[in-house]
Amino acid sequence: MFEPWLLFALVAVFMYGTSQAIVKVALGDISVAKLIIINFIITMPIYLAFLLASSVQIDLSQFGLQMITIGFLAALLGRAGYYTYLEALESGPVTIVGSITAAYPAIITILALTILRESITPVQAIGVVLVIGGIVALSYSVNGQGGEKKLSRRAVFYCAATLAIWGVWGLFAKMALLVLPIGIYLGLYALALPIVFSGYMIGKGIRVRDEFPRWSLPVTIAAISVMIGQLGLFADTTAVSIGNASIVFPLIAAYPVITIIEAQVFLKEALARKDFAMIALVIVGIVLVSTV
């Protein structure tokens, strides 16, 4: 039977993958700080709209301070992990950075199975292993075709931080979405985002006015990427709210396959035979994970 969570998860995979393929075009011309500012400018009003609409329609007190706090922490960790991921990319070769951080669903799966007591079939378990293993191997293979393989201590730190943060984020997100409506959960990003954004800028010693983007083609491309990625987040959140975290997160983590395929088609980036084999491995894993 085709489950609703599967549809939303696949939409998220496509949106995330397309967003990353588009932003690859822009990142050669804009800094990470500019990308973060663009992300903040576009997403903050959206999250604020969710928060205001939810506050008007629903009495937040009925969900209790504990669940609101868990939702807020999930939003905080989700965005903090995004920033540490960008720092890792800036500090070390995307080859290893992509490979290490692509394994974060393994942590979520373990936490979901042990703490949330979720259950998956043996076939789905095999699918989870194939998806995570295939994405890690594919990320290393494709991103490493031209490159250095040395990882600085700074990059190691940010890779480890991203892995840990996203692993805990997935658990908190699922816990929150078991109780909170999606609109309220997304609205909590309006509270978390300014904290993470301000902390990043202050911690890096960056003045927003110095990095504030002036509209140009690369900035426009980056903005389009952010908007598509935001649609992916909506689909991602919906899938997690109705599906098992131990299955949904590994499935959504397959989005680099879309990025790689689109990069080959539109950006003419070559793939080796082994890369196609790994893509096939991930697709087989997705099929197994989708078996319900």
Q: How many domains, in total, are found in the chain?
A: 1
Does residue 208 carry a pLDDT above 80?
Answer: yes
pLDDT tens digits, 222-234: 899 999 999 999 9
**Is the pLDDT reported for residue 78 higher than 90?**
yes
Nearest C-alpha neighbor of 108 from the set 15, 226, 261, 239: 239
For 154-180, how does the pLDDT look when each residue is reduced to its tens digit (9 = 90+)? 878 888 899 899 999 999 999 999 999
Residue range(s) defining the domain that contains residue 106: 4-289
pLDDT tens for 92-121 read 665 566 667 777 888 888 899 999 889 888
Residue 260's pLDDT is what?
A: 77
Taking 60 as the threshold, does the pLDDT of residue 146 lie above it?
Answer: no
pLDDT above 90 for 40: yes
